Structure 1
């Protein structure tokens, strides 16, 4: 079933005019959007030019002025402070391990154990006294303290030398000697 609306000639004329206005408005909005797209493209190109001409050179200059010297200083600190400290700690640890594996040290440890067994037999009930410390524990703690001191010193040197890294240059004073 189709129902047809019967509109007056006046309404048909007004609807036609409204439709024409809507189409004109749509065409105008499409023109505005096309113009906005062109403006956005031009702004993007200008941003690229500005970046290429202004931002990149400043970034390169900042990198050369701040990052490169800081990296060189950090490399110097690592090669002249941290690496020798770690080498010293490792050398000390290896020498202690060599001493512990020496046959004379092992023989001395056996003699101490033997004398400890003789002392233990002298106690009633054959109970050995509890030991309060071990040589290995003392050596391990000493190595740990030495390693910690070496690392702490290297870190302190690293941060101490970087204190002046980010200090800005003072502007030259423009004093007039005649005034």
Structure 2
């Protein structure tokens, strides 16, 4: 009988531009892996992006009209899918494309109904998201905040990783 494939845990990091989301996630990932979790990540970009280099074969094939172009070698592969006139896929549709793993970290997708940590820095001069976003379960910050949510030191990636793992022991938060 085939082994049951369960959906991965999904946990997000959100915050305004320049808050340090990517830096924090980059520091949390190896700590989760060190605890034995297989981790993947999806990052939502608000602007167009391109992984291809203009003039390279895969770029030229995409520009010629291919809906998907896969680039592969002995150490990695990447699949580029052009949406053309299609609607942007939902987070759930993207998650369904991942290989099995223990945890998918999500950077961005502010309004998705997934548990997330807000990375907040008062020095950015932007309002926090946690008062209005009820999917935020903790705030990682370097400044005092007034909230009933758990407050984590944004500079303590070990504590943030421990919080993420603990969250899945007690997901009713």
Question: Is the shorter-chain TM-score for this pair beyond 0.5, marking a shared fold?
Answer: no
Compute the TM-score of the two structures, normalised by the length of structure 2. Answer: 0.19
Greater helix fraction, Structure 1 or Structure 2: 1
